[in-house]
Amino acid sequence: MTEKTNLLDYDLKSLESYFNEIGDKSFRARQVIKWIYHHGVVDYQSMTNLSKSLRSNLEENTIIKLPEIVTEQRSEDGTRKWLIRVDNKNSVETVFIPENDRGTLCISSQVGCPLDCKFCSTAQQGFNRNLTTSEIIGQVWIANQALGCFESGKRLITNIVFMGMGEPLLNYNNVLKTINLLTDDLAFGLARRRVTVSTSGIIPEIERLKDDTNVSLAISLHASNNELRNNIVPINRSYPLNDLLAACKRYSEGRDNETVTIEYVMLNGVNDGLQDARDLVKCLHDLPAKVNLIPFNKFPGTNYTCSDQNTINAFRDILIKAGIVTITRKTRGDDIDAACGQLVGKVSAKAARHQKTSAGQI
């Protein structure tokens, strides 16, 4: 029996092509996308501006299949975390962080992660596979439904960050189609600067992203020299620090010199010294950047601990004195293990591998 096509795997351009292939008008794609992402409708019979014959055709040959929520946890600070099942063996985690002026949804792009960053709980779970477009955009749809956004018409999710489980640029094609849906006015309609892709530094895909879209870029840097970064962010052995920062500069120039966000987790006695801060200033001297200092969030089995507040403040002050916009990220949702670096989901791990020349094909 032929598996039905999941329409959530299509952005507008590819869905228009689908309707042309089945002999219908391409504008039907615009109607269907609005039903799904504006109104939260996934039942073809409720899409009343489609003909009955088209609705029957879609029901026979396609589905609108969403991942499903397994559990929901709510933090004392208002953060909400959903465990979302993507197949019989694997689940990922998605986190909503409400603030006074925004609501940020942190979404996952892979089941687990193959990059083995030493301070990240996700990486310690191993890696299974890339998420499909439907499984990534489905997290956004599910969160909107859970928050009552479709029913109320209110936009509670104002920002999307690819900072959940996985390395987004190792799932490039599906992440790009998701970005297209997030920023399409017919779908979620977010401004491109409100969508952020966070990467550990896959340089060829950073170059592709620069050419394909102009969303915000964040770099999980965490060290200011190659020796340390090789150890705690092993992908640095393939894409060294100077090459990565040069790619970031090119990306910034392609966006009118808008800032690149530098993420730097504060590890006690590892990367938090005053000389580390001075070296980071040197690294960023010609890059329009802002720095997020992230207090390390402990997880079972790790030997790392978080830098104390005085150390973080001293590190921050050196950066600020050098003219670099620097903030210390407030830890959110740590009581439900929803803070940065704590997402684990449920991963039926396979042997992780990274192919330098074909990063999107793991």
Does 73 share its domain with 156?
yes
Does position 172 have pLDDT exceeding 60, yes or no?
Answer: yes
What's the pLDDT score for residue 41?
98
Number of domains forming the structure of the chain: 2
Proportion of the chain above pLDDT 70, given as a percent: 91
Note whether 221 and 262 are within 8 A (CB).
yes
Does 49 share its domain with 83?
no
Question: Backbone dihedral region of 256: left (phi > 0), alpha (psi from -120 to 50 degrees) or beta?
Answer: left
Q: Which two tokens stand for residue 270?
A: 């590892």
In a domain, residue 136? The reply is: yes
Does 59 share its domain with 155?
no
Does 10 share its domain with 110?
no
Does 59 share its domain with 122?
no
Residue 265: strand, helix, or coil: strand
pLDDT, tens only, 124-150: 788 889 999 999 999 999 999 999 999
Is 149 labeled as catalytic in the residue annotation? no
Does position 359 have pLDDT exceeding 70, yes or no?
Answer: no
In a domain, residue 98? The reply is: yes
Question: Backbone dihedral region of 130: left (phi > 0), alpha (psi from -120 to 50 degrees) or beta?
Answer: beta
Does position 211 have pLDDT exceeding 70, yes or no?
Answer: yes
Does position 360 have pLDDT exceeding 70, yes or no?
Answer: no
Q: What are phi and psi of 249, to 5 degrees?
A: -65, -45
Does 214 share its domain with 235?
yes
Is 93 labeled as catalytic in the residue annotation? yes
Does position 26 have pLDDT exceeding 80, yes or no?
Answer: yes
CATH number at residue 32: 1.10.150.530
CA distance 137 to 140: 5
CATH number at residue 308: 3.20.20.70
Does 130 share its domain with 34?
no
In a domain, residue 361? The reply is: no
What's the pLDDT score for residue 355?
42
Boundary of a domain, candidates 63, 88, 106 = 63
- Reference 166, options 178, 154, 158; nearest CA is 178
- Reference 188, options 86, 40, 29, 46; nearest CA is 40
Does 13 share its domain with 97?
no
Does 196 share its domain with 132?
yes
Q: What is the mean pLDDT of residues 252-261?
A: 91
Q: Give the strand pairing for 5-6 and 62-63.
A: parallel
What's the pLDDT score for residue 299?
82
Does 156 share its domain with 212?
yes
Does 165 share its domain with 297?
yes
In a domain, residue 173? The reply is: yes
What's the pLDDT score for residue 331?
75
What's the pLDDT score for residue 185?
97
What's the pLDDT score for residue 122?
77
Q: CA of 334: how far to CAs of 77, 80, 85, 94, in Å?
A: 9, 11, 22, 14
Q: Which amino acid is at 74?
A: R
Q: Which residue of the set 93, 135, 205, 263 is catalytic? A: 93
Range of the domain at 43: 5-63
Q: Across the chain, what does the average pLDDT equal?
A: 91
Q: Which residue of the set 106, 113, 117, 340 is catalytic? A: 340
Q: What is the mean pLDDT of residues 238-255?
A: 95
Does 75 share its domain with 43?
no
CA distance 15 to 137: 15
- Dihedral sign for Cα 32, 83, 265, 229, please: negative
Which is higher by pLDDT, 243 or 361?
A: 243
What's the pLDDT score for residue 350?
65
Question: Backbone dihedral region of 250: left (phi > 0), alpha (psi from -120 to 50 degrees) or beta?
Answer: alpha
In a domain, residue 362? The reply is: no
